[in-house]
Amino acid sequence: MRQPRPWTLLALVVALLAWAGAVAYTVRSRDLVALQVAFVVYSAYGAALQLLGLVGRRPPRELQQPRRLPFVSVLVPARDEAAVIQDTLRSIGQLRYHDGQGRPRFEVVVLDDRSRDGTGERAARVDLPVPVRVARVPDGAPPGKAAVLNVGTEVARGQVLAVFDADARPEPDFLLRSVPLLLQPGVAAVQGRRRLYHRSGSVVARAQEHEFDVYQTVMQRARERFGAHVLLGGNGMVVNRFALEAVGGWNPEALTEDIDLAIRFHAAGWRVRYCEEAVVWEESVPSWRGLIRQRARWCEGVLRALVQHTPRLVRGHMSGLQKLDLLLFLTGSVVIPGAVFASYAYGVAAFLRGVLLPYYLLPLPRALPEPVTVGAFAVLAAALVLSAVVELRARIWRVLAGVVAYGAFTVHPLISTPLALANYTRSVFTGRTCWWKTDHGSAPGTPPQLAWEQDGRVGEWLALGLYRRAVP
């Protein structure tokens, strides 16, 4: 791995100082009002999604098998996943997706992304009742999951592509639940419900379970029910190959290829559906360090999508509701942590102002009346508690304990967001993209793998917001 040059480290430091300085400036100026207004807006947005998701609850759809099942290529990108790949393939092999004669209507393609731990060899040794192929990603291919999926799309036989991560455990009826929705006119992709299993009983792992089982599920349900911007989640997504090729394939420069693809589908006039009955399980991140790096990568991917796809927000074939939902989602990844950070700083300044002399050295900025901000937080908290009560169907004390734990868990954006901004700034100036891989099947505290990849053209494209296909 190449050592970073001094001036790239300087860019990293400058980015961190700029973000921290912008937040600190709000504490000593009149700009805190703007951030508090943003906090109120995003609180109302989050509460509305939670409440609409609860209103949109419906009985599970009955399982209806199409007369003719389209052939599905199941793609499993894997890089150094020897610890989990065989269990994942055994789970995929149990999918019920067969024709009238009992023959499987799907294949499994393991995309070995230059693994060094024998992932491909272990995958090839698994005995499954369905065809399994192991495709080795060539050494010259670009880094990242999207580039790997482009390789998989080229070798896939099916017109329907199902993407599972290397730690996925889809339930047996996953394809029977999701594929019929994909066959509806104008549908480009279907996202299943993502749930978590744990190899560790850590607090951070349990907090993620609360996040996925309640809040993400409810928000996706609201978007599906009321025609907003349904998101793809990377794991457990089923894609129409024709629609994928129509929008240019997987974007190899996207850190979050799922969000990037969903935006392009919506902008091109395609629909993305959410199938709550199609469930896929995935491994939680067992440590704070791994979680922060994972969320920093997600946040940076959202930033890149915001830069690239802002014109699509204006010109795309999306409804006004979809555009508003997408705008709030993309901007919220940066604005919300900034507002929360500034609020914390404001609270610290208020405390210090009361105990330190001379007090005028810490002037308080103008702020919204406390009933407004406290009321906005109370409405959001009430919506989150109500969602947890309805979705978990547990005793109220357990629900409240989960909500409190989740509230503590959400402090991670205060670290992951500036880290994402720093990585994004670094990539703009250097063309070097940081691909943080989340390890699976490892003990808590194991350092995640880190790879810096160089492409001299990427920085220019990032700065211009024009990176569509970084590698022809």
Residue 319 has pLDDT above 70, yes or no: yes
Report the amino acid identity of residue 86: Q
- Backbone φ, ψ for residue 282 (5° rounding): -140, 160
Highest mean pLDDT among 145-159, 340-354, 437-451: 145-159
pLDDT of residue 347: 62
The pLDDT confidence band at residue 461, using thresholds 50, 70 and 90, is: very low
Q: Residue 85: which CATH number?
A: 3.90.550.10
Average pLDDT over residues 99-107: 90
Number of C-beta neighbours around residue 434 at 10 A: 21
C-alpha dihedral, 98 to 220 to 111 to 139, nearest 10°: 160
Domain count, the chain: 1
pLDDT tens track for 111-142: 998 888 888 899 999 888 898 899 998 887 78
Rounded Cα–Cα distance for residues 428 and 422 (Å) = 10
DSSP assignment of 64-133: ---SSPPPEEEEEEESS-TTTHHHHHHHHHT---B-TTS-B-EEEEEEE-S-SSSHHHHHHT---SS-EE
Radius of gyration (Cα) for the chain, nearest Å? 23
Rounded Cα–Cα distance for residues 191 and 237 (Å) = 4
Give the contacts of 91 (CB within 8 A, at least 6 positions apart).
168, 169, 170
Rounded Cα–Cα distance for residues 215 and 392 (Å) = 11
Average pLDDT over residues 360-389: 72
Average pLDDT over residues 310-331: 86
Q: Residue 50's domain spans which residues?
A: 1-472
Q: Residue 355 class from Cβ within 10 Å (0-12 exposed, 13-18 middle, 19+ buried)?
A: exposed
